[in-house]
Each structure stands twice: as C-alpha cells, then as structure tokens.
Chain A
Amino acid sequence: MTTTPVRQAPSIMAVRDLGPAPEREVARDLVKRGLMVLPIAVALAALSWGGAGAASVAFAAGLVLANFLLAAALLSWAARISLGMLMGVSLFGFVLRLALIAGAVLLVKDQPWVEPVPLGVTLVVAHLGLLFWETKFVSASLAFPGLKPSAEER
C-alpha cells in the first residue's frame, strides 16, 4: 500500500498580511485631529498655568501623538513579516512604548517648564479623547463601508 504524502498546512503564525496597513491611516487621522485641537488645549493651559502649563500640554500631546505613530509603524511592519511577529511586537511594543513615555516624562519632570498636573492630565485625556473621536468615524465606516464620512463632516 502506498501512502500519498500529506501536505502540511502552514502554521497560523507563519501567515503574513501583505495588504494595506490600516493602522497607519488611523494613526495619521489621530495625529491630524490632535494637531487641530492642540492650539486650543495649549491656550487653555497657558491661561490656567502660564507658560509652563502650555509647554507641558504641548509636550504631553507630542508624546501621545508620537506613541500612536510608533504603534502603527511597529504593527504594520510586523504584520508584513508574520502574524506571530505581529503578536510579539504588539506585546513588546506595548512595554517599549510605555517605557519610552515613562522615560520621557521622568526625564523632564524636574525641569522648570514642566507642570505635573497639566502634563499628566493631557497624557490621559488626549489619548482617550482622540481615540473616542476616531472610533466614531471608524465604527461608522465599518458598519456602512459605502457611507464613509466626507472630509467636511470630519
């Protein structure tokens, strides 16, 4: 009796995704919206905490936007290699980005131009606010792909 060789299916982890990178698009949108709101946030901080508050808000917003861009770049890079790599980069990228944010904040915390409260509040509020803003448009376009919000509606 002869046995026919069985072709083994490739492991899930070895599969790669060579399609377009939606993370980059989402991150670009987030940065665009962040830059739109940033002058208002900086002006409000300047009114409440003076120049140090404004600088702290700008610094924190820059960190949040850079974090989004770095996350998107890492994920889209990893997805082109393999899904296993995507998993690894997601987890280690999380640790790496947290460490970078912590390092950047701890590095400047004793500088005279830093106000801790606006810096901390901006880190959380900018991150969550931008995400909620973006989610609104992403969920709309996922539910009704033909009805993407136009540029004016954004």
Chain B
Amino acid sequence: MLLAELSNKGVAALTYGLAAIGPGVGIGYLVGQAVQAMARQPESAGMVRTTMFLGIAFVEALALIGFVVFFLAGN
C-alpha cells in the first residue's frame, strides 16, 4: 500500500537505499577478515591491503550500479 503511493522517483530512491545495504555488509565483512589477517601475519600486510583495496572497490561497484539505476530511472 505504501509502495503504491510512492512516485517513480521515490521507488528509485528506495531501490538505491536497498542496493547500498548489501555492499555495506560486504565491505564490513571483507575489511574485518583483512584486519584479522594483517594482525595474524603482519609480514603479509602489503598483499592483504592490496587485495582488500581491490575487493572494496569491486564491492563498491554494486552500490554504484544501484545509484546509476536510481539516477537513470529518476530522470
């Protein structure tokens, strides 16, 4: 009922909000594991940080896709 009252822009914004939750959880898990790995093996911190950075950027792409869909649908 509430959804039916929303405009196209509102639905797009809601979708963007929902699309940002998954990447947030993903980045939290990813960084948590990376920090644990760095604490256990400080000598491999460089390698872990490189892969962590790329992982964060890949996960962030999902949120970017959500934003682009919101932006294009809202236009």
Contacts and interface: CB of A to CB of B under 8 A. Distances in A.
Interface of A: 12-13, 15, 17, 19-23, 26-27, 68, 71-72, 75, 79, 83-84, 86-87, 90-91, 94-95, 97-98, 101-102, 105-106, 109, 116-117, 119-121, 123-124, 127-128, 131, 134-135, 138, 142
B54 A26 contact: yes
Contact of A20 (B46, B61, B71): B46
Contacts of A19: 45-46
B64 A124 contact: yes
Interface of B: 20, 23-24, 27-28, 31-32, 35-36, 38-39, 42, 45-47, 49-54, 56-58, 60-61, 63-65, 67-68, 71-72, 75
B71 A109 contact: yes
Contacts of A15: 38-39, 42
Nearest to B72: A120
Please provide the 6 A-B residue pairs with the shortest distance between their CB atoms, ordered closest to farther.
A120-B68, A12-B39, A90-B31, A22-B50, A23-B53, A83-B35
